[in-house]
Amino acid sequence: MKTLAFALLAALVVQIPADPDGPLEPSVMNEVEHALARAPSCATNAPAAFGDIFATNGLSATAVAVSLVSRQDKAGEWIVNGTNATAEAVAILMSLAR
C-alpha cells in the first residue's frame, strides 16, 4: 500500500520536461514577444542574409530564444561584431514564436 501511495505521489510531483524543440514556455514566449515589439519595424521586412551569426545552430528552441533575447541592445537591435543583425534575429524569433 505504501508503494502505491508513493507512486501516486511521485506521479503528481514529478514534472515531465518540455520538448526541447516544441512550443516555447509562456514565460519565454512573453520575452520573445517583448523583444520583437522593441525591434525596429523596418527589421521585420528586411531579408535575413547571414548564416549562423549568433552561433545558435544545434540549440533547443528555448535556448535560441533566451540567447537572442539576451543579446538585444537597449535600442532594440542586435549588433554582432559591428554588423547590424537585427533582421536575422527578428526572423529567427518570429519563426520560434509560431
Residues 25-74: pLDDT tens digits? 999 999 999 999 999 987 666 555 667 889 898 999 999 999 999 999 99
SS3 5: helix
Distance CA 39, CA 84 (A): 12
Distance CA 10, CA 47 (A): 49
Domain assignment of residue 34, given as a range = 17-96
Residue 5 lies in a domain: no
- Higher pLDDT residue, 42 or 82? 82
Lowest mean pLDDT among 4-13, 22-31, 84-93: 4-13
- Higher pLDDT residue, 35 or 8? 35
Q: What angle do CA 83, 86, 38 make, to 5 degrees?
A: 135
pLDDT at 16 (0 to 100): 45
CA separation, residue 11 to residues 6, 7, 14, 20 (Å)? 9, 6, 6, 21
DSSP tag of 22? S
Please count the structural domains in the chain.
1
